[in-house]
Chains A and B, each alone.
Chain A
Amino acid sequence: MEENKKTCLHGHHTSQGALMSPFGGFDMPIQYRGIVEEHNAVRSACGVFDVSHMGEVLVTGDDATRFVNYIFSNDVTAAQPGQCLYGMMLNDHGGVVDDLLVYKFSENKYLLVINASNIDKDEEWIQERMNDSNPDREDGMPFRIDLELVSEVVSELAVQGPEAEKVVEEVLGIPCADLTFYTFKETHLDGHDILISRTGYTGEDGFEIYAEDEVIVDFWEKLMASGQCEPCGLGCRDTLRFEVGLPLYGDELDDDITPVEAGLTMFVKLEKAPFMGRDAVAKQKAEGAKRKVVGLELADKAIPRHGYEVLNEADEVIGHVTTGYHSISLDKSIAMALIDARYAAMGTPLKVRIRRKTFPCAVTGKKFYKKSYKK
């Protein structure tokens, strides 16, 4: 068996007593003090996550804008340099190859931040797309771009929570109050390049910081020494993103789930120049999806987990749970589920099978907890 990869902070995680577990090919911290404590720290103050497992791909060259716009569902031509965009890479059937953040440096330079579990698949897929004839050029020539896979040399921290701005400025010495939501800047500290964006995956204000290993290790140590920032594992990253209805690739998204089904069409710009997956999504959007990702709320405390069956009132299986928890912030059992679209109307009474029993639930929105971004 192939051994899991380690981030530059692996030794810090193990020596600080984190519970480690494999995730996306990496040996990652799942929790430090406890998922509940870490979750609450991010909602009420500040927490830091090692997210160095994320993959990074640099796209540069004369056709960089055209190429990224061709493989990515959102419209990078509408973005200014210094802006981040969320969107997806789609296959021919409209299924999601991956969901990602795109950082636009200029018309000739973009950084794609992809999921750890998809790094190999994405890199292969992106490379194949380079050989597609450029649909945006009359001569049909391939794209003039360079791809650089920089995952191995880029590490990443996410500092998240209402006090994140203060902590990043005071503890790390990086001015960031000027950054608005979904923008980034490059800065230099002691001769090192640092990329910082006002982005995250928790529903709270916060920042994601990219740099080489030694800088990230130094930042982690400063944050730990400050006592102002809770070390957090991927366990609470999942509970936090789930409560605000953010999808996780592998749960709410995969190669066979489309943005229409996942409720993410606002990140698919059908009106822009032709792009991968466009026609399939346009067709499905016009015809209506047969499945939908919905929220479910249970009256009981039993917890619906990924893969559990969702039933209609006649006890027919109509879908499955994609993510479910006893919500830490809301103290109730809630889930996201991919179900037959005929049952997706708000308030529809359904059931979830949890081991030997079924429990009544009702369809709700997916945003269980209100995001508090600083715009």
Chain B
Amino acid sequence: MIRYSETHEYVRQEGEYGFIGVSDYAQKQLGNVVYVDMPEVGDEFEAGEEFGAIESVKAASDLISPVSGEVVEINEALEENPRLVNQDAIANWIVKIRLSDPSQLDGLMDEDAYRAFCEK
């Protein structure tokens, strides 16, 4: 199950874990991603809180977590090759968190709703 926020992050749920990244729409808007500023394993954040940043050549954009939880893994491949986000934004998630409240996903957009949101 994948859900999207209005700030263009997604959370893909697998059991008690959520994989968070930026949407395909967001990576296209950003252009070439040159750096992903990631939190550390063990960091905890609330839904709506900034947990890092993603940078294109031109500018830095904050990463806002769609859900609350604790970081259990970061995608280290992005440290070496941030452009993976441009190649496949969904496969190349940024952080894996332990969801503290999976019901938060119900308040986010599904794929159809998100697509409509981006076309607005």
Question: Chain A interface (Cβ within 8 Å of chain B)?
Answer: 30-31, 34-36, 235, 239, 301-303, 305, 325-326, 328, 333, 354-355
Contacts and interface: CB of A to CB of B under 8 A. Distances in A.
17 contacts: A34-B31, A35-B58, A36-B31, A235-B58, A239-B57, A301-B34, A301-B79, A303-B55, A305-B59, A325-B57, A326-B34, A328-B57, A333-B35, A354-B37, A355-B37, A355-B53, A355-B60
Interface size class of B (residues with CB under 8 A): 10 to 19
A303 B58 contact: no
Contacts of B56: 35
B75 interface: no
B59 A326 contact: no
A291 B57 CA distance: 28
Nearest to A326: B34
Contacts of A31: 31, 58
A302 B37 contact: yes
B32 interface: yes
A254 to B, nearest CB: 21
Nearest to A306: B59
A355 B58 CA distance: 16
A245 B86 CA distance: 29
B59 to A, nearest CB: 7
A34 B32 contact: yes
Contacts of B53: 355
Contacts of A239: 57
Interface in B1-32: 31-32
Contacts of B35: 301-303, 326, 333
Interface in B42-96: 53, 55-60, 79, 82
B57 A305 contact: no
